[in-house]
Each structure stands twice: as structure tokens, then as C-alpha cells.
Amino acid sequence: MKKNELDCQREHDSDLPQEIEKLKVELNRKVAQGSKGLNNEETLELSQKLDELLVQHLQDELGLITE
């Protein structure tokens, strides 16, 4: 990996907890809307994106290599 790519990756990694928190808040808001918030495409997409970010964060924390 080139130096610029490493710098970008480190910057992204440091933003990851903030991105996760932002999505958690947004997802919680959708769910709090009641039945409409639980059963729609947007909620599913938010949940899946949050799952991806959580997996990435855990892999980063454990030092696992992802491709």
C-alpha cells in the first residue's frame, strides 16, 4: 500500500467510530417512529451499513486484514 493510501486509511479508521455513532442515532430515530420505521427499505439499508461499519471497526481493532 502506498503512503497516501495508508494516510487515507488511517484517517478513515479514525472517523469510523463517529460514522458508527451517527448511523446508530439515525437508525434509533427511525425505529422510534414505530411500525413505519421498522418495516421500510431505508431502515434496512441503514442497519446493513451499520453492520458493515461495525465489522470493519472490529477487524481494524483486532488487526485483521480486509480486502
Residue 12: per-residue pLDDT: 57
Residue 48: per-residue pLDDT: 95
Q: What is the mean pLDDT of residues 1-12?
A: 48
- DSSP class of 65: -
When the pLDDT of each residue in the chain is averaged and rounded to a whole number, the result is 79
d(CA 50, CA 20): 6
Distance of CA 6 to the CA centre of its chain: 20
Helix (H, G, I), strand (E, B) or coil at 58: helix
Residue 7: per-residue pLDDT: 43
- DSSP class of 67: -
Helices and strands of the chain, counted as H and E runs: 3, 0
Please give the grid coordinates belonging to residue 17.
467510530
